[in-house]
Structure 1
Amino acid sequence: MAKTLGPVRRKFAPWNDPAAKPLIEYRNVVKRFGDFTAVDDVTLGIYEREFFALLGPSGCGKTTLMRMLGGFDMPTSGDILLGGESVVGIPPYKLPVNMMFQSYALFPHMTVEKNIAFGLEMDRLPKGEIEARVQEMLKLVKLEPFAKRKPHQLSGGQRQRVALARSIAKKPKVLLLDEPLGALDKKLREETQFELTDLQMKLGMTFLIVTHDQEEAMTVADRIAVMDHGKLIQVATPSEIYEQPNSRYVADFIGDINILEGTVAARDGTLVRLAASAVQAPIEVEDDAPIAAGTTAWFAIRPEKVRISHDPPPATLSNVAAGTVWDIGYIGDTSIYHVKLDSGPTVRATVANTSRLIDRPITWDDKVWLSWSRDAGILLTK
């Protein structure tokens, strides 16, 4: 498999360099709360200037993993290194790490500039340096006109920027972001995601974000660690996570996907034929993984890679299935067709709405054919 699939945010991949040393290292870290294991033997490296995302459902251990780096929790066992030095047992205020909380935790009685200056004043920096740093931060987050306002006089997006400016004012080595955009509405959250990535690259700082929002992680991160029950399930770039998930859990957690179970019937070089009860003919997949005949496997394919048509495909074409349109979801830019196959399962196909006036040549209860290319999906064995 190629090291990089699809578009990347920038030419930055130190994890592919055997000589590169991570800035942050989790070494066999375990964290238990009584009988509950929140983090289960995690080993992970995060590199300097990387925007790294911890992604997973509530209770998967992602926030605990981040809090241990920030000094807020102690690991039960294992070690956490920052710049080659252990941070275990060091209190948060002595670490070159800062955290931006989901609630923003702004001081309501202070102005924007006073909120940003607070940490610098606690460090007893010279007054002139504090003023210069505050002005730098206000310009960076585009809040110069709001310097004298208090938090209740700001919008949610503006308060988020104040919290971000305060977090980076002390210029920490690592910024920890705990669901930082969760309080924003969808449109503002999407806009802020791009602002956050631009700011991170401009600062050259290492960001570690915790989120349960798959789209957010895919948008901002250089790499994503998908977690479940305290364990790392897959660590890879967004495009690799989406196009080459290593398990049904990751495939199903990231985006929308169709998964069909079958048995490997034959293999000819990189061409694998999967016998699946959901379709009449074997599913043909280009896959170089060492999967032997007789192995149970799952064929996973994204809806946008499935073609839908009234007309049956040529008899020589592989990877086809017949069914009936059960439901249609109009999303605006796309329409999602739920097709109930003649054999029982439902498969989703996404079609782009390329014209303003939506003409539905395919509608409810229509008999249709689905098809896809050999390299459109992947085989999963777990």
Structure 2
Amino acid sequence: MASASKSLGNIRRSFEPWNDPAAKPLIEFDRVTKRFDGFTAVDDLSLGIYEREFFALLGPSGCGKSTLLRMLAGFEEPSEGDIRLAGQSLRGVPPYRRPLNMMFQSYALFPHMSVEKNIAFGLRQDGMARSEIDARVAEMLKLVKLEAFARRKPQQLSGGQQQRVALARSLAKRPKVLLLDEPLGALDKKLREETQFELMDLQQELGLTFVIVTHDQEEAMTMSDRIAVMRAGKLCQVATPGVIYEAPSSRYVADFVGNVSLIEGVVESASNGVVRLATPVGTIESESSAPATPGMTAAFAIRPEKMRLSRQVPGDIGVNALRGTVWDIAYLGDVTLFNVKLDGGTMVRSTVINASRIAPEQIAWDEEVWLTFPRDAGLVLVQ
């Protein structure tokens, strides 16, 4: 865990009710299991999500994240366990009676209705007075900055505008919780990035609880206060983006979230918070609180940006200095990626920031290079 003096990752805002023993989650999954014809989609899962939290369920296809969201929405019932909202069980409560709304990846807009009628649809179904509907629709149009498009049909809008209409319709009934199932998947990369920040600002402005399902690590890292990484119906780790990235609990989480190099080895020693690993590519020392003991097999995980790439032979080549050959190079504008094949055969990745427009000495393919890093650059994983 991060201490007060050493935080893991930048904090977007001071909001962490999960660290308050007196705080009670708004949403509680209590030992929830969901089976479909003998297949277990969600397996004995317990999780708490707090009021006003932007929470992400992250994992590959088939990991159970969408099933979890559908159970919360009321489209599926748990095979075992219970789901509670504000302390009240949701068992047997139909979707339309739950104080939450769901926004789908397809947006599901009515093509024959105008933007304002799409937004008003749920309010009319609830029997709200016409004057109140008009006022609420106007409020939602202003919120998503679509006042000038009120009378257009969905097919007359861009993908980003359609996404905003679907969002406005979901928010019009003022739910306690908004559920988002891969809401940005249909947008192009630049628009998706812009919309991520818009969603964050909107969530803060409205003070609602957002729960998003995504398989996009960058999306989860950008928007959420906490991330639950899932695999085969189980939770692997639940933590803030900074902790998930800088202190993954297992090889799986480290490998799934962002780029990482995993170097397998055997623990030589573990004392005073430092683990020493013997690996095929050299000796590695790491500041680590992992429960490592001599003779144990472990992996050293390090992110590409944490390693320094150089042609120069380091002064101390005994520890945390790995020699290899440049295997591949990818220029991405802001950074250059180097895949380096170490002398022991392991392939690792290093990134170099392109701080200057003109690089005086470019490292090329097949060059011999050294990768160096301090003790606190990576961590030892025993799972």
Q: TM-score, normalised by structure 2?
A: 0.97
1:129 corresponds to which residue? 132
Deviation at 1:361, TM superposition (A): 2.4
- State the alpha-carbon separation in 2 of the partners of residues 315 and 187 from structure 1: 44
- State the alpha-carbon separation in 1 of the partners of residues 205 and 312 from structure 2: 52
Q: After superposition, what is the alpha-carbon deviation per residue over 1:311-366, rounded to whole angstroms, capped at 9, x for unaligned? A: 10003662001111111111111001111111111111100011223455211111
Partner SS for 2:184: coil
1:256 corresponds to which residue? 259
Match of 2:37 among 20, 34, 37: 34
| One-letter amino acid of the counterpart of residue 2, structure 1 | A
1:142 corresponds to which residue? 145
Match of 1:176 among 157, 176, 179: 179
- State the alpha-carbon separation in 1 of the partners of residues 263 and 367 from structure 2: 22
Partner SS for 2:351: strand
1:293 corresponds to which residue? 294
Match of 2:192 among 179, 189, 196: 189
2:49 corresponds to which residue? 46
Match of 1:92 among 92, 95, 99: 95
1:159 corresponds to which residue? 162
Contact 2:291 2:382 in 1 (8 A): no
Q: After superposition, what is the alpha-carbon deviation per residue over 1:293-328, rounded to whole angstroms, capped at 9, x for unaligned? A: 111110000011011111100036620011111111
2:367 corresponds to which residue? 366
Match of 2:68 among 65, 77, 84: 65
Match of 1:110 among 110, 113, 116: 113
Contact 2:334 2:353 in 1 (8 A): yes
1:308 corresponds to which residue? 309
Q: TM-score, normalised by structure 1?
A: 0.98
Contact 2:290 2:382 in 1 (8 A): no
- State the alpha-carbon separation in 2 of the partners of residues 241 and 219 from structure 1: 12
| One-letter amino acid of the counterpart of residue 40, structure 1 | D
Deviation at 1:267, TM superposition (A): 2.2
| One-letter amino acid of the counterpart of residue 205, structure 1 | L
Percent identity, aligned pairs only, is 66
Match of 1:76 among 51, 61, 79: 79
- State the alpha-carbon separation in 2 of the partners of residues 11 and 315 from structure 1: 41
- State the alpha-carbon separation in 2 of the partners of residues 105 and 247 from structure 1: 38
- State the alpha-carbon separation in 1 of the partners of residues 322 and 359 from structure 2: 25
RMSD, matched Cα: 1.1
Moved more, 124-133 or 73-82: 124-133
- Residue 229 of structure 2 corresponds to residue 226 of structure 1: yes
- State the alpha-carbon separation in 2 of the partners of residues 231 and 187 from structure 1: 32
Partner SS for 1:54: strand
| One-letter amino acid of the counterpart of residue 257, structure 1 | V
Deviation at 1:9, TM superposition (A): 1.6
Moved over 4 A (4+): none
Match of 2:246 among 239, 243, 247: 243
- State the alpha-carbon separation in 1 of the partners of residues 10 and 167 from structure 2: 28
- State the alpha-carbon separation in 2 of the partners of residues 106 and 341 from structure 1: 53
- State the alpha-carbon separation in 1 of the partners of residues 294 and 375 from structure 2: 18
Partner SS for 2:344: coil
Count of aligned pairs: 380
Contact 2:298 2:380 in 1 (8 A): yes
- State the alpha-carbon separation in 2 of the partners of residues 51 and 343 from structure 1: 43
Partner SS for 2:160: helix
1:381 corresponds to which residue? 382
Q: Name structure 2 gaps, 5 residues minimum.
A: none
- State the alpha-carbon separation in 1 of the partners of residues 316 and 152 from structure 2: 70
Q: Name structure 1 gaps, 5 residues minimum.
A: none
Moved more, 359-368 or 20-29: 359-368
2:321 corresponds to which residue? 320
Q: After superposition, what is the alpha-carbon deviation per residue over 1:142-175, rounded to whole angstroms, capped at 9, x for unaligned? A: 0011111110110000000000000000000110
